[in-house]
């Protein structure tokens, strides 16, 4: 017999769970299960007496129990007896295994007791973010088919795309307000990971809940499993996804069309966040659907916004204007072009220069070198193509493959941003040239995970003698330079997407205007304490995420209202809508 479950909210905004489930069915339902926190009355009413130990614990006590276990899993002394006697590579490998064990432990908790999972993560936010999302989630994605025991979210493939509306009827919640959707092709710095990519929407939605207080029962993780070209997955007898090569061309386009039509019919007001689509697909899908269904692409628009915020704060240190800078973006995927787009959009909006002049200030480098009119280009790169009159007098070896070093020497950028996924490519020579171009060069090696960073902050500080202003994509530990303790700000999309998502949902606008992503960058920059900026950390602390997300949501709502005439909301009203983890009364029906 099907179990009934719904959520009721009374006139005082008190939430109650309604269910027909009893006994072990409640214990097996992640959102209903309170474990040892069920009180005596609930145990009697829902047939739980005897199915649980007699002691009743509070949610806070449960969180501390989880933390004790969590700490044990990541403690190197518990994993390796002689860790202090082995090399750094071996230590890093052991740490990765420990982090993955923690990831799987928290994923099991998520699937067993959802409220406790969020209460724990909420209490230890800064500590767990690198575990439940980047960089650890990348390893989890690779091992998804081997490690996963329970399955969360929606899996759409060529086998069931014709029944997509019916599939949405199977989803565990009736009124989702946000779906994070991936086709698994551009996962972090890992590329095509097939069905394992579902871990990315699951993790991203956990961050929406933690960062912006979007209610967990309003979230939908979803993978468009259109096959994989990952040979390891295709050869793996345990691979769980659609075991054929990727759909391409018209077949792929029709698949996406059917998905969008189906989700729009079933949930017409839902917000879609497109995630980890590869290169041209990311831009094509964003541009095709952004006015047809409420949606945005965090890899393009979120990355662009958060990078722009870091640049704005970095220029506070050099006391210069962004319009006077020249930019090199090393890496022409969704993130790199997203940053280029946002810088250009900022120059147009805030400094009223033409789009062409804004684009002229930006040089983009892909796998073939500087993006120029010498090579055949995908459409999304063309706005940043350099014409021959720009580089014809440059001192280069091969005009058809102008290297990063040659661009830095000839174009003379003051800002260098890496989204290439190529570790160590910001060499000593390149960093020295950046130091020659500016008294305070801005160098952001943003590739994830940490192992893919174009340079370490320590190396950048060493080569530039501490002049460079640095931010990274993955977290780096603080270090000493010239007697000072250096804290590196993390250019983390987490500062942007939860607030934009919350604001878009509250506003009920039909689309998100492009200006939103420039204005929220300025809001994030404004919310970074001057004390941190003066120390070189151009981003705030993750611990401030709730207040940051509320302000980002306020800015998003305000900008949507300007263009769409939708209702405005006060900051206090927005904060009142942000969910925090707690157990709710349950009504038996």
- Going from N- to C-terminal start, the domains of the chain cover 58-277, 303-507+520-572
| Cα 383–chain centre separation | 26
Bond from prior residue into 135 cis (ω within 30 degrees of 0): yes
The pLDDT assigned to 70 comes to 96
CB 203 within 8 A of CB 121: no
3 state DSSP class of 441: coil
Closest CA to 203 of 223, 185, 189: 223
* 52 DSSP 8-state letter: S
- Residue 1 pLDDT: 53
The DSSP letter of residue 386 is B
Q: Do domains 58-277 and 303-507+520-572 have the same CATH topology?
A: yes
| CATH for 58-277 (3.40.50.11820, 3.40.50.10380, 3.30.110.30, 3.40.718.10) | 3.40.50.10380
Q: How far apart are CA 473 and CA 475, in angstroms?
A: 7
Per-residue exposure over 40-61, b if at least 16 CB sit within 10 Å of its own CB, e if not: eebbeebebeeeeeeeebebee
Q: What is the pLDDT of residue 76?
A: 56
Q: Strand, coil or helix: what is 370?
A: strand
pLDDT score for 193:
95
- Non-local CB neighbours of 540 within 8 Å, separated by 6+ positions: 489, 495, 524, 527, 528, 529, 532, 548
Helices and strands in the chain, H and E counts: 26, 17
According to the model, what pLDDT value does residue 78 have? 56
Contacts 24+ apart (CB under 8 A), 159-162: 159/242, 161/255, 161/258, 161/259, 162/258
Residue 114 near residue 59, CB atoms below 8 Å = no
Structure tokens at 243: 């075991």
What pLDDT score does 299 carry? 95
Q: What sign does the dihedral 40-42-45-48 (CA atoms) show?
A: negative
Residue 366's beta-bridge partner residues? 369
SS3 state of residue 532: helix
pLDDT of residue 474: 86
Specify which residues 178 forms β-bridges with.
219, 271
Whose tokens are 């029709």? That residue is 254
Catalytic site residue 133? Answer: yes
Looking at residue 147, its pLDDT comes to: 87
Range 422-427 contact pairs with CB under 8 angstroms and sequence separation of 24 or more: 422/331, 422/447, 422/452, 422/454, 423/447, 423/451, 423/452, 423/453, 423/454, 424/454, 424/455, 425/330, 425/454, 425/455, 426/330, 426/454, 426/455, 426/459, 426/460, 427/455
Say whether 204 is catalytic. yes
Give pLDDT, residue 172. 84
pLDDT at 12: 82
Q: What is the pLDDT along the chain (589 residues), one digit of tens a residue?
A: 577 889 998 888 899 999 999 999 999 999 999 999 999 999 999 999 999 999 999 999 999 999 999 999 976 555 555 566 676 677 778 888 999 999 999 999 999 999 999 999 999 999 999 999 988 998 999 999 988 878 999 999 999 999 999 999 989 888 999 999 999 999 877 899 999 999 999 999 999 999 999 999 999 999 999 999 999 999 999 999 999 999 999 999 999 999 999 999 999 999 999 999 988 999 999 999 999 999 999 999 999 999 999 999 999 999 999 999 999 999 999 999 999 999 999 999 999 999 999 999 999 999 999 999 988 899 999 999 999 999 999 999 999 999 999 999 999 999 999 999 899 999 999 999 999 999 999 999 999 878 889 999 999 999 999 999 999 998 898 999 998 899 999 999 999 999 999 999 999 989 999 999 999 999 999 999 999 999 999 999 999 999 999 999 999 999 999 998 999 999 999 999 999 999 999 999 9
Give pLDDT, residue 448.
83
Instruction: Return the pLDDT at 465.
Output: 96
Tokens of 425: 């490519």
The single residue of 70, 118, 133, 511 carrying the catalytic annotation is: 133
CB 574 within 8 A of CB 550: yes
CATH no. of 303-507+520-572: 3.40.50.720
Catalytic residue selected from 34, 204, 361, 523: 204
Distance CA 124, CA 120 (A): 6
């Amino acid at each position: 017999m099907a179990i009934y479950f719904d959520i009721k909210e009374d006139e005082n905004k008190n939430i109650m769970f309604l269910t027909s489930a009893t006994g072990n069915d409640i214990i097996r339902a992640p959102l209903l299960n309170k474990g040892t926190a069920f009180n005596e009355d609930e145990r009697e009413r829902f047939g739980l007496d005897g199915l649980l130990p007699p002691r009743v614990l509070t949610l806070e006590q449960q969180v501390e129990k989880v933390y004790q276990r969590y700490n044990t899993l990541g403690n190197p002394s518990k994993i390796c007896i002689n860790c202090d006697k082995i090399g750094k590579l071996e230590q890093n490998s052991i740490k990765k295994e420990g982090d993955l064990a923690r990831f799987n432990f928290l994923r099991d908790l998520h699937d067993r007791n959802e409220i406790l999972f969020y209460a724990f993560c909420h209490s230890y936010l800064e500590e767990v973010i690198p575990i439940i999302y980047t960089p650890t989630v990348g390893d989890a994605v690779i091992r998804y088919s081997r490690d996963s025991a329970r399955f969360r979210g929606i899996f759409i493939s060529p086998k069931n795309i014709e029944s997509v509306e019916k599939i949405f009827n199977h989803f565990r919640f009736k009124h989702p307000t946000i779906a994070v959707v991936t086709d698994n092709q551009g996962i972090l710095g890992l590329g095509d990971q097939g069905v394992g990519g579902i871990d990315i929407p699951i993790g991203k939605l956990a961050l929406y809940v933690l960062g912006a207080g979007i209610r967990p029962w309003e979230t939908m993780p979803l993978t468009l499993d259109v096959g994989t070209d990952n040979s390891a997955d295709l050869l793996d007898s345990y691979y769980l996804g659609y075991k054929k090569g990727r759909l391409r061309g018209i077949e792929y386009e029709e698949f996406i069309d059917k998905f969008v039509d189906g989700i729009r019919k079933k949930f017409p007001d839902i917000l879609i966040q497109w995630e980890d689509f590869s290169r041209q697909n990311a831009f094509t899908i964003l541009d095709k659907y952004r006015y047809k269904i409420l949606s945005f692409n965090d890899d393009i628009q979120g990355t662009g916004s958060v990078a722009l915020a870091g640049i704005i704060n970095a220029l506070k240190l050099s006391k210069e204007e962004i319009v006077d800078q020249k930019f090199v973006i090393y890496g022409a995927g969704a993130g790199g072009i997203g940053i280029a787009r946002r810088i250009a959009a900022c120059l147009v909006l805030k400094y009223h220069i033409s789009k062409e002049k804004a684009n002229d200030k930006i040089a983009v480098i892909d796998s073939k070198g500087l993006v120029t009119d010498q090579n055949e280009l995908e459409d999304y790169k063309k706005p940043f193509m350099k014409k021959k009159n720009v580089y014809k007098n440059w001192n280069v070896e091969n005009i058809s493959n102008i290297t990063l070093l040659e661009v830095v020497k000839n174009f003379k950028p003051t800002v260098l941003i890496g989204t290439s996924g190529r570790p160590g490519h910001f060499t000593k020579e390149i960093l020295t040239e950046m130091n020659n171009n500016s008294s305070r060069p801005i160098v952001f090696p943003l590739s994830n995970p940490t192992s893919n960073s174009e340079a370490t902050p320590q190396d950048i500080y060493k080569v530039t003698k501490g002049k460079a202003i640095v931010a990274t994509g993955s977290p780096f530990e603080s270090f000493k330079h010239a007697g000072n303790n250096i804290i590196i700000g993390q250019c983390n999309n987490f500062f942007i997407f939860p607030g934009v998502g919350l604001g878009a949902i509250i506003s009920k606008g039909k689309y998100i205007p492009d200006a939103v992503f420039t204005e929220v960058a300025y809001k994030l920059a404004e919310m970074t304490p001057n004390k941190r900026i003066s120390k070189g950390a151009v981003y705030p602390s993750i611990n401030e995420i709730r207040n940051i997300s509320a302000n980002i949501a306020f800015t998003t709502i305000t900008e949507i209202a300007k263009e769409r005439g939708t209702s405005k909301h006060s900051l206090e009203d927005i904060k009142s809508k942000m969910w925090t983890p707690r157990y709710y009364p349950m009504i038996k029906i």
